Amino acid sequence: MRATSSTGRLLGHGDLRLLLLVLIEQQPRHGYELIRLIAEMFHGHYTPSPGAIYPTLTLLEEQALLRATEEPGGRKSYALAPAGKRFLADHAESVEAMWLRTRHAARTAAKMTVPPPVRHAMEAVKHALLTHPKAWNSAEARRVAALLERAAAEIAHASES
């Protein structure tokens, strides 16, 4: 599954590069592990191809933002180089914007797998909450919260059966 933005792309221009740097900043990683982590971020609805990941890792290594260590079996482990740490610090606003776009794209990808009648019902609930005609006093908030919690519990229980 490929979720797209208004530009037709899953991630914005340069977002994969930033995402890889941020994930590697957390701890050194292998290319396959990065592919798996990104797939998990998108709840399995998008998995980047090795043809996108490995050339980007090579480019980041050539730009001295990453250091690669050769391991037995020919695998490489990538770690953030000092220049990569400076790059992320210097581009903190871009990194934050990338995280916002990536989270939105992941939600969109997940949402697109929900059947249309369920999506419609979700939108109806959202609309009802946003246009709620009564005052939101504590009693009304508890009543509506209880309705939503019961619905969530029934949905979760049905999926366990």
Please name the amino acid found at residue 98.
M
Fold of 15-112: Arc Repressor Mutant, subunit A (1.10.10)
Report the predicted TM-score, pTM, of the whole model to 2 decimal places: 0.69
**Using an 8 Å Cβ cutoff, are 112 and 1 in contact?**
yes
- The whole-number pLDDT of residue 32 equals 95
- The whole-number pLDDT of residue 135 equals 80
- The whole-number pLDDT of residue 9 equals 58
Domain ranges of the chain: 15-112, 116-160
- The whole-number pLDDT of residue 2 equals 40
Residue 5: pLDDT over 80 = no
- The whole-number pLDDT of residue 7 equals 40
Residue 52: CB atoms within 10 A of its CB come to 16
Which H or E run includes 44? Answer: none
pLDDT of 11-26, one tens digit each? 778 899 999 999 999 9
